[in-house]
Structure 1
Amino acid sequence: MSDIQWSDGAPIYRQLKDRVIAMMLDGILKPGDALPSVRQVAAEYQLNPITVSRAYQELADENLVEKRRGLGMFMTEEAALKLRGNERERFLNDEWPGVLERIQRLGLTMKDLLPPGTTL
């Protein structure tokens, strides 16, 4: 979880939660992997352990991680699939319409959008 830049725009626990979700989507965390301990994250980023616990609890409430008594928090098997589906839906509903509008406004063709050397 290194190199986190905290912003003033959102609560720290939310930013931490979003970072863990990004790690899941990017495959840095895989199903069954343990999350760093609350104490470890709190010490590394000089955060209040309650802040870290809140981020982890929200992940647990969304069934993205599960608590294993005495062992810690672990990414659930269905987390990546659920997150990818949510991210895909958000992209298609919120971002894609604007991207498509810009493509059309600029008169871009399929050839313009494909990497050089790619054929259809």
Structure 2
Amino acid sequence: MTQWRDDQPIFLQIRQRMIEMILNGAINEGDPLPSVRQVATDLSVNPLTVTKSYQSLVDMGTVEKRRGLGMYVTEGARAALLAHERDKFLKEDWPAIAARISALGLSAGDLLKDGDEK
């Protein structure tokens, strides 16, 4: 059973899963996305939720609709998504991480140590 986070709409969480699949090569440029019905069944969500997540990928320009065939990853999607995810990380995630590092008094050396060293 899929665990959903309460801090973000489910359609955004599904979109993020698709982005991660494209970035890690599970879905390549030119490949079809899994069908809306299949994803909805696999994740036990409403097909409209999956459709909304796919539409947000279309809006980003990384997926295209092909009438009668489904949704396909566009050429250049991986590079565009990588740039998007890096920008999002630096603007949204990194400030909180940097603040936490500072609050804990950690140095760059502390962060770069091998996990076995303590």
TM over 0.5: yes
1:16 matched to 2:14? The reply is: yes
Q: What is the aligned residue count?
A: 113
Residue from 55, 71, 74 that aligns with 1:73: 71
The one-letter code matched in structure 2 to 1:12 is I
Local SS of the residue matching 2:64 = strand
Question: Where do 1:1-120 residues align within 5 Å?
Answer: 4-95=2-93, 98-99=97-98, 102=101, 105-109=105-109, 113=112
Which consecutive residues of structure 2, in runs of 5 or more, have no partner in the other structure? Answer: none
Q: CA RMSD in A?
A: 2.7
The one-letter code matched in structure 2 to 1:73 is M
Rg (Cα) greater in structure: 1
Report the more deviating stretch, 4-13 or 61-70.
4-13
Distance 1:96 1:40, change over 3 A: closer
Which consecutive residues of structure 1, in runs of 5 or more, have no partner in the other structure? Answer: 116-120
Local SS of the residue matching 1:106 = coil
Residue 93 of structure 1, CA deviation: 4.6
CA deviations 1:83-109 (Å, max 9, x no partner) are 111222334455556549948x43444
TM-score by length of 2: 0.76
Distance 1:106 1:74, change over 3 A: same
> How many Å separate the matches in 2 of 1:6 and 1:107?
34
